[in-house]
Amino acid sequence: MKKRIVIVGATSAIAQQCARLWGREAGVELTLIGRDEQRLGRVAADLTVRNPQCAVSCIQTDMLDPKIIERVVAVLFQSGRVDIVLIAQGALPQQADCQSDLQACADALVLNSLSPVLFAEAFAMHMLNAQHGTLALIGSVAGDRGRKSNYVYGAAKGLVERYAQGLQHRMAGTGVKLVLIKPGPTDTPMTAHLKAQGVKLAPVEKVAQQMVVAIQKGQPTVYAPGKWWLIMMIIKHLPAVIFNKLNI
């Protein structure tokens, strides 16, 4: 039986790297979900060239409409259970834009929190009914503590983390696992402006490799790279009198 892996937000750089790693495995069937049909097609073509033995299919869909999401996920399970789901959609907004433009603020909150949660809830229902599978959600270290440099994005990812904790509680003792992935700044097109500012970014290949291993193991929470666990532990526990003097 083939291993069925579904990737939501499959055109993101991190998701593409994970797909390439999974595509190397024998007997894998990848389903790519996204809103841009042409970009999905390019990702699928790339995966097929790299791994001709890998079966790849695409689903272009609305990423926000609850009824459409519900139908898309239900159709996927009509052909059998799913082994792994990675929910990876998101975008890093400019904090200044979110402060000056409420539409930009709303878009950032919806794409980075509401959309992933709706997909996760839809998949969770079917996976729990089947008592099988691993559901992985991409959060961010930005969600660990609100900081002036990216607090709108951080708030969205903080919501994803609280949701993931509740879903993990719901899944406790079942055959389904939820993995919350919290990448640090990663070298992708989404962070090109940070790279231009000289910010040190983790190679996307390294982050994806760590994610795939964590999903295979069913780790509840993983920081990628791992050093961010210690960094954020310190930031989270700094007293406000010190924290408020930092330009972060």
Give all strands (DSSP E) within the chain, no chain letters: 3-8, 28-34, 55-60, 84-87, 133-138, 176-183, 186-187, 202-203, 221-224
How is the chain split into domains, by residue range?
3-243
- The predicted pLDDT at position 191 comes to 83
Over residues 224-232, mean pLDDT:
96
Q: What percent of the chain has pLDDT over 90?
A: 92
Q: How far is the first Cα of the chain from the last one, in angstroms, to the nearest whole number?
A: 49
CATH code of the domain made up of 3-243: 3.40.50.720
In the prediction, which pLDDT does 26 show? 87
The model's pTM:
0.95
Distance CA 107, CA 124 (A): 25
Per-chain mean pLDDT for the chain: 96
- Amino acid identity, position 98: C
Q: What is the pLDDT of residue 140?
A: 97
pLDDT for res 194: 80
Q: What average pLDDT score do residues 77-104 get?
A: 96
pLDDT, tens digit, for every residue of 147-184? Answer: 999 999 999 999 999 999 999 999 999 999 999 999 99
DSSP for residue 190: G
